[in-house]
Structure 1
Amino acid sequence: MRLTVQARPSMPRFFAIVLLAVATMSLCVSCTRSSPQASLRRTQSWTIPGVLRIGVRQEPDTLNPLLAQQEIDVDISMFWAGYLIGIDDRNHPLPELAVAVPSLENGGISKDGRTIVYRLRHGVRWHDGAPFTADDVIFTWRAVMNADNPVPSRVGYELIQSIERRSDDTVIVRLRRPYAPFVSIFLSVSASYPYCVLPKHMLARYHDVNHAAFNTMPLGTGPYRVVRYEPHNLIRFEANAGYWRGRPRLKQIDMRIVPNDNTLATLMRTHELDLYFRVPHIVAKTLRGREGVTIVSSPFTRYVDIGFNTRSDLLSDVRVRRAIALATDKRALNVKVALGADIITDSDQPRFSWAHADNLPQYAYDPRRATALLEAAGWHLGADGVRRKGGSALRLNLAGASGDSVSIQARELLQAQWRQVGVDSDIKSYPSNILFASLPDGGVEMTGHYDAVLESFANGADPDESVLFECRWQPPAGENVYRFCDRALDQAEEAALRSNVEATRKAAYAQVQNILASELPILPLWFERYDFAVNSNLRNFVPAHVASPFWNTWMWQI
């Protein structure tokens, strides 16, 4: 998704990011579980016991994850919504509304991989007191598949041949064919596009959910209720006394929407906020050592990339895309905008994942090779230092998020780097809820109104990202906003999705990554480490590394 405590079960093979747990041990800077001594720290004068004040930069485009295009929408859902399966800070699947994670070992997945049985948690109630049942799960699947609901992805959901209610507490799903990532996708937090379970009794009356009041005042089964939403300003949550895990430890959460990092940092310094998340590393540096403020750093499966519109007249020639890759100094960018803290990558798969391929085509910074490629593609240098071909200047529309200090600085640096080889660019900034909006809402990416875009994407627990690159998932069907189409990639993606054998999937994903590195619909730059500025009185804040950091909001305490 673009810019979502019980005993831990063993991890089934389909949760493919198991190696991340090992990597996290060495990469996480100050991501530790709170100790018993933590509760002995004195309460700061600015702390309001039981009330947590959070600052976020991004404006949500909806509070309904079914229609969500941004990570912030999923992050918000972690306070009020319920999923069948969650994922914890050790990258283990966590039963939520399902009492167990279906697997071959526990009989939840049939030997042929086509039947999955979900046993649901008994006694869970929606915020209005209505019981949660199998009917809600089935209704949610139908809402995803409703062609009039502009969901960002139906990957996996479209493979369901039938879904039936055996009882209030049991759902049986039958697939058209085996699909390895299914359990990590279906109504699961760990999906690239996480969809929570929706209340049938509230939404079944509508033909579609596009204009339902639910999208701004949702009703869920989570630890907190949304009681107030002021767009561009505030989302207020109150504790759900009937939460199935027990009453959460916070009474109230105020999430303030402040679209500027400098303002958010000021509010943290003046102790008007208790939690500021996804803090740019440069800003986090200024907050380190501040009285009452702790910086928590944690690696995340979210990569920053330059996305190319492969149908743009300027970028349809792969030689131009390769030249731009060679003209991009990733390490210099990382040092300047992230203090070198993020993890340079050559792939959309992190190096700590089993799916990452070795020996991929590389694009080390090389302006001379970039120049040669541009010349070979017919783009010749003009007197003004900008390349031209057939009377057209090689001047790119370089899009990105407004209010994001890292994005703005990085694009300015890219502009300067590319200009050295004769590629000019106009920096265009849009609010994130416009940049990443759906096609009906005129999203910049979805409508293709850009040449290149600085963006980020959060992987799910499974390496599948077919919705970003397969031919069939170009808008309006899916999230292939690059308009990229390669039949060999499609075949490799589908081979990986059909098999539960890791070696088979690894070979297929190696082919996918080689095609992506050669054809360059995107240029991956780095995987992020998230910085969080936290009131030192906040307890039990331990970020997860997949989908959303906020896996245990019911445990937070201040």
Structure 2
Amino acid sequence: MKRFTALAAGTAVALALGAANAQAERGSDGNLNVLYWQAVSVLNPYLSGGTKDVEGSSVVIEPLAKYDEAGNMVPALVDEIPTVENGGVSEDLKSITWKITPGLLWSDGTPFTANDVKFTADYCMAPDGGCQQISKFQDIESIEVIDDQTVTINFTVPKPFPYTAFVGAETPVIQKAQFENCIGANAPNCTEQNFGPHGTGPFKVVEFRANDVITFEANEHYRDPAKPSFATLTLKGGGDAASAARSVLETGEFDYAWNLQVEPEVLEQMSAAGRGQVVTSFGTSVERIEVNLTDPSPDKGENRSTLEAGPHPFLSDPAVRKALSIAIDREILVEAGYGASGQPTCNILPAPENYASTNVNWCLEYNPDEANRLLDEAGWAPGGDGIRAKDGVRLSLLYQTSTNSVRQATQALVKDMWQQIGVETELRNIDAAVFFGGDPASPDTFQKFYADVEMYTNNFPGTDPEAYMAGWLCDGIPSPKNGWLGANMPRFCSEEYDALTGQMAETADLEARGEIAKKMNDILSNEGALIPLIHRGDVSAHSVTIDGVRMNSWDSELWNVADWTRKE
């Protein structure tokens, strides 16, 4: 039986590179100016699944281990990745023991201990807490503090891949002393803690203005006395992807700009100014259309877009969902908005190769004639205005996404394509800071999904998809009961899918895990719970004066910001 083994070579390379970048003096390079045009809303990834919130948090709060740019696990708050071979993972695969690096301090100067690790797990797994990362803690039976530097995680079943909790930027350790009164339903109410967490990372929070700007300063208690090279870090939010690209590549106003979903020819033109360079890497990011399988009608009141509202008036019809998918020309979408940084896909799980299915490639064939035939056969007949209807229900949908020039161009193209099959589409775009913000009081979040379909991209840290694919479990559906914090946006529920998730959790053989993951991927695509569009490369840019950037699609892009320096 094959078992996962951390690559010691990858760890050694990462440590060597870190040592090579070490600086003689902390804070000697002044201010680092970073722009995330999707502004950060909260510095607690347990309360938001938005990538911008996870990455903004990552410069302050850290997991026990991270992923490097090649997808290898590397130690962060430990000296060694636990494996079966080194005794850190039990032979029966039902426990993993982490040994914390001695002497670590929180940014308030107090000791970091195993009690903080246990508390973080308790915090996420607390009833009514609405933890956005709960799938990473699946099958955990208990957390045992052995001593201040040692913590054991016990599982209810054998875990061939026990590295979901506390590995990667989505599940950092938070300080028990700071958050101990923020358990369960009170978690979202702890504004001071959620906006200014103490951390072990290279920077600490000075001022946080939600959906605007964050000021950080170097953490004087950071474990490497020579890092970070920058005395302060300013993380600005707002604007759009094009203006963010311009601020680095043309004007030089910022040192780093994230998520440049900008037309390729525009980026090429901006780069000619010579002030910055574009960096790209491919991971698991998929631009997709999520299909609301429940009724989002306002007249459903507080049950709107929940299982209690009942099935969607027309998207509950499999023929409609399949017709919408094959009526989209994905090649045109890539050509218009992504260029070399995009590839058409039918998979929600496009990588690594071992997990990428070829069984749902039917969606790659643009076929409006077949889409029309499917709708005709299902009884959806065109009316006098060309819009199809059945039993008084018109195929008229609201299509929402975040505000971004490429996304709005994609929306316009898809609207035209759907019009050719008799589907009416109203387009809506929402400021990204709000759309991905996770505010349970806002009607405009992607979790509440007060629309018929919505489009966005997300991915998962590392290379194992178990926790990510568990996001579509029946119990992961956002609702008022969990503070609208779940990952199952389509409100999809399948006993077969849930069973495969459990099977994957018990399977050690890597090839077998790949086959299970492909089956799960195929169910989601074939059922039309979501419509994958484009396997996206991550595109960002940094100033030519910045050294040490190692573009990373497997973790936070700021994963090694402690190693960044400014060239003289």
Match of 2:427 in 1: 427
Match of 1:335 in 2: 335
Q: 1:506 to 1:530 in 2, by over 3 A?
A: closer
Q: Is the partner of 2:189 in helix, strand or coil? A: coil
Q: Identify the range of structure 1 (268-277 vs 102-111) with the bigger mean alpha-carbon deviation.
A: 268-277
Match of 1:195 in 2: 171
- CA–CA distance in structure 2, aligned partners of residues 120 and 433 of structure 1: 35
Alpha-carbon shift at residue 361 of structure 1 (Å): 4.8
- CA–CA distance in structure 1, aligned partners of residues 521 and 254 of structure 2: 41
Alpha-carbon shift at residue 265 of structure 1 (Å): 3.6
1:194-229 Cα offsets, whole Å, 9 max, x none, are 121011112213443322201111210100111112
Match of 2:281 in 1: 298
Alpha-carbon shift at residue 362 of structure 1 (Å): 1.1
Q: Is residue 229 from structure 1 mapped to residue 208 from structure 2 by the alignment?
A: yes
Match of 1:481 in 2: 489
Match of 2:535 in 1: 527
- CA–CA distance in structure 2, aligned partners of residues 210 and 439 of structure 1: 9
The one of 496, 499, 503 aligned to 2:507: 499
Match of 2:143 in 1: 163
| TM-score computed with the length of structure 2 as normaliser | 0.86
Match of 1:463 in 2: 465
Q: Identify the range of structure 1 (272-281 vs 63-72) with the bigger mean alpha-carbon deviation.
A: 272-281
Match of 2:13 in 1: none
Give 1:46-445 correspondences, 5 Å limit.
Answer: 49-183=29-163, 185-189=164-168, 194-207=170-183, 208-212=186-190, 213-246=192-225, 247-268=227-248, 269-282=250-263, 283-311=266-294, 312-363=312-363, 364-402=365-403, 404-438=404-438, 440-442=440-442, 444-445=445-446
Match of 2:14 in 1: none
The one of 522, 539, 543 aligned to 2:547: 539
State the one-letter code of the partner of 2:523.
I
Q: 1:123 to 1:237 in 2, by over 3 A?
A: same
Q: Identify the range of structure 1 (444-453 vs 518-527) with the bigger mean alpha-carbon deviation.
A: 444-453
- CA–CA distance in structure 2, aligned partners of residues 395 and 483 of structure 1: 20
Q: Is the partner of 2:407 in helix, strand or coil? A: helix
Structure 1 residue runs without a partner (length 5+): 1-10, 21-32, 40-47
Q: Identify the range of structure 1 (171-180 vs 507-516) with the bigger mean alpha-carbon deviation.
A: 507-516
Alpha-carbon shift at residue 539 of structure 1 (Å): 0.4
Alpha-carbon shift at residue 381 of structure 1 (Å): 1.2
Alpha-carbon shift at residue 231 of structure 1 (Å): 2.7
Contact kept in structure 2, 1:331 and 1:340, CA below 8 Å: no
Contact kept in structure 2, 1:187 and 1:195, CA below 8 Å: yes
State the one-letter code of the partner of 1:456.
T
Q: 1:448 to 1:49 in 2, by over 3 A?
A: closer
Q: Is the partner of 1:333 in helix, strand or coil? A: helix
- CA–CA distance in structure 1, aligned partners of residues 440 and 456 of structure 2: 20
- CA–CA distance in structure 1, aligned partners of residues 429 and 31 of structure 2: 34
Alpha-carbon shift at residue 52 of structure 1 (Å): 1.4
State the one-letter code of the partner of 1:289.
A
Q: Is the partner of 1:255 in helix, strand or coil? A: strand
Alpha-carbon shift at residue 344 of structure 1 (Å): 2.1
Alpha-carbon shift at residue 358 of structure 1 (Å): 2.8
Q: 1:237 to 1:488 in 2, by over 3 A?
A: same
State the one-letter code of the partner of 1:390.
D
- CA–CA distance in structure 1, aligned partners of residues 179 and 379 of structure 2: 56
Alpha-carbon shift at residue 354 of structure 1 (Å): 0.9
Q: Identify the range of structure 1 (293-302 vs 534-543) with the bigger mean alpha-carbon deviation.
A: 293-302
Q: 1:230 to 1:435 in 2, by over 3 A?
A: closer
Q: Identify the range of structure 1 (424-433 vs 364-373) with the bigger mean alpha-carbon deviation.
A: 424-433
Aligned length: 520
Q: 1:514 to 1:203 in 2, by over 3 A?
A: closer
Q: 1:261 to 1:440 in 2, by over 3 A?
A: closer
Q: 1:255 to 1:527 in 2, by over 3 A?
A: same
Match of 2:300 in 1: none
State the one-letter code of the partner of 1:225.
K
Contact kept in structure 2, 1:53 and 1:253, CA below 8 Å: yes
Q: Identify the range of structure 1 (276-285 vs 235-244) with the bigger mean alpha-carbon deviation.
A: 276-285
Alpha-carbon shift at residue 447 of structure 1 (Å): 2.7
| Identity in percent | 25
Alpha-carbon shift at residue 72 of structure 1 (Å): 0.6
Q: Is the partner of 1:79 in helix, strand or coil? A: coil
State the one-letter code of the partner of 1:503.
E
Q: 1:153 to 1:261 in 2, by over 3 A?
A: closer
Q: Is the partner of 1:171 in helix, strand or coil? A: strand
Q: Is residue 516 from structure 1 mapped to residue 524 from structure 2 by the alignment?
A: yes
Q: 1:222 to 1:332 in 2, by over 3 A?
A: same
Contact kept in structure 1, 2:47 and 2:130, CA below 8 Å: yes
- CA–CA distance in structure 2, aligned partners of residues 354 and 131 of structure 1: 41
- CA–CA distance in structure 2, aligned partners of residues 180 and 438 of structure 1: 32
Q: 1:405 to 1:181 in 2, by over 3 A?
A: farther
1:239-273 Cα offsets, whole Å, 9 max, x none, are 11221123211111111112323432443322211
Q: 1:267 to 1:506 in 2, by over 3 A?
A: closer
- CA–CA distance in structure 2, aligned partners of residues 263 and 356 of structure 1: 34
Alpha-carbon shift at residue 286 of structure 1 (Å): 2.9
Match of 1:42 in 2: none
1:452-507 Cα offsets, whole Å, 9 max, x none, are 11111112321123333222222246321101122222212211111111132122
- CA–CA distance in structure 2, aligned partners of residues 422 and 118 of structure 1: 57
Contact kept in structure 2, 1:14 and 1:500, CA below 8 Å: no
Q: 1:215 to 1:12 in 2, by over 3 A?
A: farther
